[in-house]
């Protein structure tokens, strides 16, 4: 089968379009003929050599797939060959065929294209897990979402609108994306290049702060994030693009009863991920099937142009997701 492999760790030029063996499904696994996958920030970090796949998962890049079940391993009860599915995978998405665990796969309604479906698992499940399951965001609260225009941020805005429509949504974004972020349903959009977001949050919320923050920057934003949190607020840390070390005033954090929760999805135990996906499927997939939540596809590239897709990701001008489509489907 065709797949993207790496000559070595480094830039997009290290990616090559290769022929590799098609995997065979083991017990509890589906072999999915992939129609589409998407490019995610962890793919870039793995390509650079800083984010290895969990033990036992494919070394091929790609954390989510949308396609059709080709064959099944022993013990599969929910899916049959020919079923349309979308799945969260530990690796292997940048290929014509990928293995997926039954508990990490979901039925794909006919109303959703494979290109849209390829955008669901990594970003929407991440947003749902961190805002609603861990961050405990409820209606009539407020949330600050960083990185407006990125896949997780656009997913988070849509989920807040659909699941907690009374939530006040504050979003940081670059100058060129402000209006598009506002059009997605953000209550307030902050230009992080021209404004100090902590000052803007303080003004918007009448000094109260926000209840939940979804942040992928890390150290660079830590102090302003803590200033932006309300009493008993929660900072959900899902990335460290802005560094891994920063000072923290523990006394203020204690007095304000604030929480910082670090969270990643890929390295969680298999059963834990399956439980998260089951909750997501029940709560969110009906909204996607009905068109109430619509994955945003900014650009589509054929698999052999994965390096160009990574270059686009690193340049940061995209709005929504970047999708890779497979040959001969």
| Token digits of residue 168 | 């006040």
Q: Are 322 and 296 in contact (CB under 8 A)?
A: no
Determine contact, residues 200/227, Cβ cutoff 8 Å.
no
Same domain, yes or no: 76 and 140: no
| 252 and 301 share one domain | no
Spatial separation of the C-alpha atoms in residues 101 and 246, rounded to whole Å: 38
Asked whether 327 and 33 are in contact (CB, 8 A), the reply is no
For every residue of 49-117, DSSP letters joined together read TS-PPPTTS-SSS-SEEEEEEEEE-TT--S--TT-EEEEE-SS--SBSEEEEEGGGEEE--TTS-HHHH
C-alpha 107 chain-centroid distance? 19
Are residues 112 and 140 both part of a single domain?
Answer: no
Gap between the Cα atoms of 22 and 20, Å rounded: 7
Secondary structure (3-state) at 202? helix
pLDDT at 118: 97
Token look-up 């794909």 returns 108
Q: Are residues 181 and 301 in the same domain?
A: no
The verdict on 139 and 254 lying in the same domain is yes
How many whole angstroms separate alpha carbon 63 and alpha carbon 82?
22
Q: Are 232 and 279 within one domain?
A: no
Q: How many domains does the chain have?
A: 2
- Which residue among 241, 262, 283 closes a domain? 262
| Distance (Å, whole) CA 182 – CA 169 | 10
Are 234 and 285 members of one domain? no
The pTM of this model reads 0.94
Q: What pLDDT does 139 receive?
A: 83
Q: Which long-range contacts (CB under 8 A, 24 or more apart) does 304-307 make?
A: 304/2, 304/17, 306/4, 306/12, 306/15, 306/17, 306/39, 306/61, 306/94, 307/12, 307/13, 307/15
Looking at residue 140, its pLDDT comes to: 84
Is residue 63 domain-shared with residue 180, that is, in the same domain? no
Structure tokens at 260: 């910082």
At 316 the pLDDT is 87
Are both 148 and 203 inside the same structural domain?
Answer: yes
Domain end: 216, 239, 262, which one?
262
> Is 133 found in the same domain as 80?
no
* Residue numbers of the domain that contains 219: 123-262
Regions of the chain with pLDDT less than 50:
none
| Whether 242 and 286 share a structural domain | no
Quick one: three-class SS letters along 221-245?
Answer: HHHHHHHHEEEEEEEEECCCCCCCC
CATH of the domain at 208: 3.40.50.720
Per-residue burial over 110-147, b = 16 or more CB atoms within 10 Å of its CB, e = otherwise: eebebbbbbbbbbbbbbbbbbbbbbbebeeebbbbbbb
Do 207 and 169 lie in a common domain?
Answer: yes
CATH number at residue 47: 3.90.180.10
Query: What is the pairing mode between strands 142-145 and 210-215?
Result: parallel
Residue at a domain's end among 207, 231, 262: 262
């Amino acid at each position: 089968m065709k797949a993207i492999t790496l000559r070595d760790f480094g830039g997009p030029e290290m990616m090559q379009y290769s022929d590799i063996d098609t995997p065979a499904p083991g017990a509890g696994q589906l072999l999915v003929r992939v129609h589409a996958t998407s490019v995610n920030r962890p793919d870039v970090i793995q390509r650079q050599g800083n984010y290895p796949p969990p033990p036992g998962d494919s070394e091929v890049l790609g954390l989510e797939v949308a396609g059709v079940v080709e064959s099944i391993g022993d013990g599969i009860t929910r899916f049959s060959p020919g079923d349309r599915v979308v799945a969260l995978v530990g690796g292997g998405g940048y290929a014509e065929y990928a293995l997926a665990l039954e508990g990490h796969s979901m039925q794909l309604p006919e109303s959703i294209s494979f290109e849209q479906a390829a955008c669901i698992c990594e970003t929407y499940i991440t947003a749902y897990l961190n805002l609603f399951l861990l961050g405990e965001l409820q209606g009539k609260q407020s949330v600050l979402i960083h990185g407006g225009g990125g896949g997780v941020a656009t997913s988070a805005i849509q989920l807040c609108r659909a699941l907690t429509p009374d939530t006040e949504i504050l979003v940081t974004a670059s100058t060129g994306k402000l209006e598009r972020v506002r059009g997605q349903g953000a209550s307030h959009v902050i230009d992080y290049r021209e404004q100090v977001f902590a000052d803007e949050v303080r003004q918007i919320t009448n000094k109260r702060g926000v209840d939940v923050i979804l942040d992928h920057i890390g150290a660079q934003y830590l102090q302003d994030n803590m200033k932006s949190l309300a009493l008993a607020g929660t900072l959900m840390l899902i990335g460290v693009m802005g560094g891994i070390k920063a000072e923290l005033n523990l006394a203020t954090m204690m007095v304000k009863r604030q929480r910082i929760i670090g969270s990643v999805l890929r390295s969680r135990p298999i059963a834990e991920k399956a439980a998260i996906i089951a909750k997501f499927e029940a709560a969110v997939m009906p909204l996607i099937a009905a068109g109430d939540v619509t994955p945003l596809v900014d650009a589509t590239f054929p698999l052999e142009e994965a390096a160009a897709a990574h270059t686009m990701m690193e340049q940061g001008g995209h709005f929504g997701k970047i999708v890779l489509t497979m040959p001969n489907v």
